[in-house]
Structure 1
């Protein structure tokens, strides 16, 4: 179903600093590139938040009926420490410290990356290219940039001439930085003597004798620059111009700025129509940092094996927590926030469980079409997941009102309510139904049903002490009993 024909999306474009109506280059097709991880360590939660944001964008575009080619790369070479042009490759350093081959490092942490994303129910990208798999394309791109007069070779390394480029183009237009300001704020550093100017960045680096990861090129045995990789891979699979380029806010400068410059220098055109940047994730009101100890990784958050949170949290709860904030907002990860999200997540799942048992009436007292459109309006407004979730809880209210008999829906409207809730909760937000995914749920239900029966017997025998004890101890175990006119039900709190 081509829902995109009736849903006009507005995207906040980092390049222009405003929301713009989304018009794909090819009517029903979307090309989207997102900068993937450098696989030298376990994926951190900030990365998970970024990739989760674009997983949601991917999901919504697919839901609307677009044919989406989503490319997310793996950086497995060329990314030097501190995002610099000199120093040690992050992967090579890890290999040296652990005394293993660099590609063992790559394999180990690529597997970890995929496992974590699978745990959080990410859809896989359409294509996941690696930097080492595209060395030839990168060498060809460097040759083109040299031939166009925007790069130069010195002692086996090739650098992009930022000053020459800025004479006819605008370097810094994405990050809103002026070259003269960058010049003023740059100090000379050791090891930069090969460059014409400190602002120039490496397209190819000659490998030192001890550098393991190296490939032959017209200039030297060496390795590509980090910025070059994404330019080569994005344009190979999406064309010289494509629709959406995403990544974390920390990549806007210099990484994405350099991508634009490389592309314009090679192809003479701006590569991307809509630049999207996900904002940062904080922990307890402060920047995450390994040096200060203010950090937590996904595995620790999922297992509860940490000193930052009071308990372990399920993947769906964490995903729900992240969706409650706009992708463009700084998100503060706190125990209180996760506890609140857990309650909201369980309320939502409980309502969906109830929804399956609701009976239709002859008439409708709720305008479900208007409510459905409000859900689409939220996502059409720059993928506003917090407003979508607020609308979904309006749907939860409807479900409870229908259950209690204060509102009614006819067969058609009840079906539309079910379709819409399921589409946005599971297909778009990517949440998984706890009742379907938690191991042993059926056995848990049976056990709780037995306790509910024992409690009912105790109340019938006027043994209120036992009745209260069953209720209170279940509550301590995170199982809430609710007495209603149709009997006693339970929910996980």
Structure 2
């Protein structure tokens, strides 16, 4: 573990050197999607953020158990405790079994993650498959005196917990102000206090997702699943818990309270949160009409999109901002990302065609260290990308003959791009499916340009110019190099 990797711990609000509880083993839990609709850009950001963390920790030599849950029960419409279950509502409207809805959107989510080159987690547990564990968690909290039963439901007693512990220590909220707004029971509320949250909810007769419990038929509160499944797969104490910044309160705050109330201390050492994606400075959401699914990005079918954007363009767009910074969507920003990614991919492809010289007139030694410094500084992917662009500039100068590179330095440059661009950032060349037609077109263009090389050698300038002008008119950009030629098709 030679690299000293630092991360920003939301819990302490500062950067800390990452020291696992049981090195070389690392336990990491990340809140996954609620599967009642197609994955959108907001789903992509945490998936990509923690994919980078997963990749880098493994690169550093850690053995990572990465758990990313699937919420398929207990996430209610209006807030964490009230309204109709989102999955159940979708099932009712479409006249399907709830698990049909879950499986359909889970399949689509996984397909989108695969397209974004997000590695699958070690374990992907579903909330509905861990009802027993959630009931056990609720029983532990009840037995310790931090919950109460009310009309068949069970609620966490926030005021009682707050007297001994600090409810609000993750989000930095003044919970006393929240408690002072308590509404009095008027026959409409089962809670003793408005700040209390549901651990188990009694199922009304029309509620189709229900399980037997010591308190009657019902379903778990949304916050229970992560605490119960984290404990099951990572133990009572594990290293990292991650998710979007919108989960800090109430979800992750409630998780901390549940873990302390059930076992007497915190489960998680490092809390990590990615920031939001906005549209013109406003959070992306269905009610605002600026909600764009990943499939709509890939096909260009949303009214706010001027074109389709490939999965790698989306990934590159997200990685160009630090994970704790907001990312504001615009077509211009995505188009710039598309061009930037293409520049890096083209530069990397040139590496295979470079003939090394006896000596180098460029210094590639510093690139690797710059990339490591950026990754070790709380996963600063924008700086890694900037450093790769430095490498791309070097490559282009070598191709044009402005600089030379030795065999040793060429291998180092290849290794840097393979490690940081492919293995850690997870960027790759995208191949469209068209039954091999693109490959055939490429071979035809290569053949024409080879004929042009022969024409130039024979000083047949008319044929040489005709081939170049014809390809240019069709949208091809031709570049002569010292080793022959390069070409690309402009959009």
Pairwise same-fold verdict (TM > 0.5)? yes
User: What SS is found at the alignment partner of 2:302?
Assistant: coil
Q: Could you tell which deviates more after superposition, 80-89 or 252-261?
A: 80-89
User: What SS is found at the alignment partner of 2:67?
Assistant: strand
Alpha carbons of 1:362 and 1:436: their partners in 2 closer, same or farther (altered >3 Å)?
farther
**What residue in structure 2 maps to residue 483 of structure 1?**
480
Q: How far off is 1:426 after superposition?
A: 0.9
2:407 to 391, 411, 435: 411
Q: How far off is 1:419 after superposition?
A: 1.2
2:446 to 445, 449, 474: 449
Give the TM-score normalised by the residue count of structure 1. 0.93
**What residue in structure 2 maps to residue 252 of structure 1?**
248
Does the 8 Å CA contact 2:25/2:64 hold for their aligned counterparts?
Answer: yes
**What residue in structure 2 maps to residue 39 of structure 1?**
35
Alpha carbons of 1:201 and 1:210: their partners in 2 closer, same or farther (altered >3 Å)?
same
Deviation track 1:267-302 (CA, whole Å, cap 9, x = no partner) reads: 111111111111111234432222232121111111
**What residue in structure 2 maps to residue 124 of structure 1?**
120
Instruction: Determine whether 1:339 maps to 2:335.
Output: yes
CA RMSD of aligned residues (A): 2.3
**What residue in structure 2 maps to residue 474 of structure 1?**
474
Instruction: Determine whether 1:305 maps to 2:290.
Output: no
Q: Could you tell which deviates more after superposition, 123-132 or 434-443?
A: 434-443
Alpha carbons of 1:472 and 1:404: their partners in 2 closer, same or farther (altered >3 Å)?
closer
> In 2, Cα distance between the equivalents of 1:115 and 1:192?
44
Instruction: Determine whether 1:175 maps to 2:175.
Output: no
Map 1:12-91 onto structure 2 (within 5 A): 12-91=8-87
Alpha carbons of 1:379 and 1:309: their partners in 2 closer, same or farther (altered >3 Å)?
same
1:237 to 229, 233, 240: 233
Instruction: Determine whether 1:114 maps to 2:110.
Output: yes
Deviation track 1:447-480 (CA, whole Å, cap 9, x = no partner) reads: 32245467776994547995675244333xxx42
Deviation track 1:352-392 (CA, whole Å, cap 9, x = no partner) reads: 11111223333344443322111111111110100000001
> In 1, Cα distance between the equivalents of 2:175 and 2:280?
36
Does the 8 Å CA contact 1:350/1:491 hold for their aligned counterparts?
Answer: no
> In 1, Cα distance between the equivalents of 2:363 and 2:481?
27
**What residue in structure 1 maps to residue 424 of structure 2?**
428
Map 1:83-482 onto structure 2 (within 5 A): 83-184=79-180, 193-434=189-430, 440-452=437-449, 460=460, 462=462, 469-475=469-475, 479-482=476-479
Alpha carbons of 1:192 and 1:35: their partners in 2 closer, same or farther (altered >3 Å)?
farther
Deviation track 1:415-443 (CA, whole Å, cap 9, x = no partner) reads: 22211210111111111123698854422
How many pairs were matched up? 486
Q: Could you tell which deviates more after superposition, 78-87 or 211-220?
A: 78-87
Q: How far off is 1:405 after superposition?
A: 3.9
> In 1, Cα distance between the equivalents of 2:186 and 2:127?
28
Q: How far off is 1:186 after superposition?
A: 5.9
> In 1, Cα distance between the equivalents of 2:333 and 2:140?
51
User: What SS is found at the alignment partner of 1:31?
Assistant: strand
User: What SS is found at the alignment partner of 1:489?
Assistant: strand
> In 2, Cα distance between the equivalents of 1:69 and 1:390?
31
Does the 8 Å CA contact 1:44/1:297 hold for their aligned counterparts?
Answer: yes
User: What SS is found at the alignment partner of 2:470?
Assistant: helix
Q: How far off is 1:444 after superposition?
A: 2.7
Deviation track 1:104-147 (CA, whole Å, cap 9, x = no partner) reads: 11111111111111111110000001111111111111111111
Alpha carbons of 1:256 and 1:388: their partners in 2 closer, same or farther (altered >3 Å)?
same
> In 2, Cα distance between the equivalents of 1:342 and 1:386?
15
Deviation track 1:30-70 (CA, whole Å, cap 9, x = no partner) reads: 11100011111111111111111111111111111111100
Structure 1, gaps ≥5 residues long: none
Q: How far off is 1:231 after superposition?
A: 0.2
Q: Could you tell which deviates more after superposition, 442-451 or 418-427?
A: 442-451
Does the 8 Å CA contact 1:11/1:22 hold for their aligned counterparts?
Answer: yes
> In 2, Cα distance between the equivalents of 1:485 and 1:368?
22
> In 1, Cα distance between the equivalents of 2:175 and 2:483?
71
Q: How far off is 1:347 after superposition?
A: 1.0
Give the TM-score normalised by the residue count of structure 2. 0.93
Alpha carbons of 1:421 and 1:12: their partners in 2 closer, same or farther (altered >3 Å)?
same
Q: Could you tell which deviates more after superposition, 55-64 or 162-171?
A: 55-64
> In 2, Cα distance between the equivalents of 1:426 and 1:484?
26
Q: How far off is 1:484 after superposition?
A: 3.4
Does the 8 Å CA contact 1:455/1:470 hold for their aligned counterparts?
Answer: no
Structure 2, gaps ≥5 residues long: none
